[in-house]
A = this chain, B = another copy of it.
Amino acid sequence: MAATGSVTGSIAKLQRHSGEPLRDQILQRCRWLLLGGHVVPGQKLPLRPLAEEFNTSLMPVRDALNRLVADGALELSSSRTIRVPEMTGDRLLELHEIRRALEGMAAEQATHHISNTAIDRAAQLIGEMEAALAAGDFDGYIRNHYSFHFTIYAAANRPTLLGMIEVLWLQVGPWFRQGIERASAMRIDANTCHDRVIGALRARDATGVRAAIEEDIFDRIEDLHASGP
């Protein structure tokens, strides 16, 4: 068994009493670990080593991880160790059924409110996505992919809905990263869906936007699921 070592790649130090609580700063970093797939299904995340990396006590780390457990992004196996959940076929299916419903709803509603500059920004992100993927920069690809979707969803002005979608992305994050790395060579045409999203947004065609987003989600799970076991 390989020593996990540093999982955070922590650079900037956390600061106490600086506006937001340590718990939230740690939560933010852990979120990106999941979204970016820097942790792997099955991996253990013990409190004490993490607290040492962050130079804090157990408590804020515990708070952050408990939150992620509540969100379903982490799990307590045998109620004694916190780990990244394995992705099963059932869970993947369920998560994407929900994603389709909620992200479809957000996209449809965003159509009526999103600004032209936000649409331009989203369109630009498609290019940066492709460039990152071509360069083998998976981190950059995932970051841009995230930004593309969430600039659109955020325009729906539905804070609760947006939070629920974020939780879903946290849950599929580790799986998504693995799938992207496996399937990167064979796939770039997810961007055809993305282009259709942009086109429908420009035309203010809410139904079209929803359909394009739903198809994007559907295609993604098809491809990634087909590319691996």
Interface residues of A (CB under 8 A from B): 63, 66-67, 70-72, 91, 94-95, 97-98, 101-102, 105, 158-161, 163-164, 171
Across-interface contacts of A105 in B (CB, < 8 A): 97-98, 101
Contacts A105-B101, A160-B95, A161-B98; is A70 near B71 (CB within 8 Å)?
yes
Which label, helix, strand, loop or mixed, suits the secondary structure of the A interface? helix
Contacts A70-B71, A71-B70, A101-B102; is A94 near B160 (CB within 8 Å)?
yes
Across-interface contacts of A70 in B (CB, < 8 A): 67, 70-71
Closest 9 CB pairs of A and B: A101-B101, A94-B158, A67-B70, A94-B160, A70-B70, A98-B161, A101-B105, A72-B160, A94-B161
Of B63, B72, B161, which is within 8 A of A163 by CB?
B72
Kindly state the separation between the CA atoms of A76 and B161 in the bound complex, as whole angstroms. Answer: 19
Beyond A95-B160, A98-B160, 10 additional pairs, beta carbon < 8 A: A67-B67, A67-B70, A72-B163, A94-B158, A97-B105, A97-B161, A98-B102, A98-B105, A98-B161, A98-B164
CB of A91 within 8 A of CB of B160, answer yes
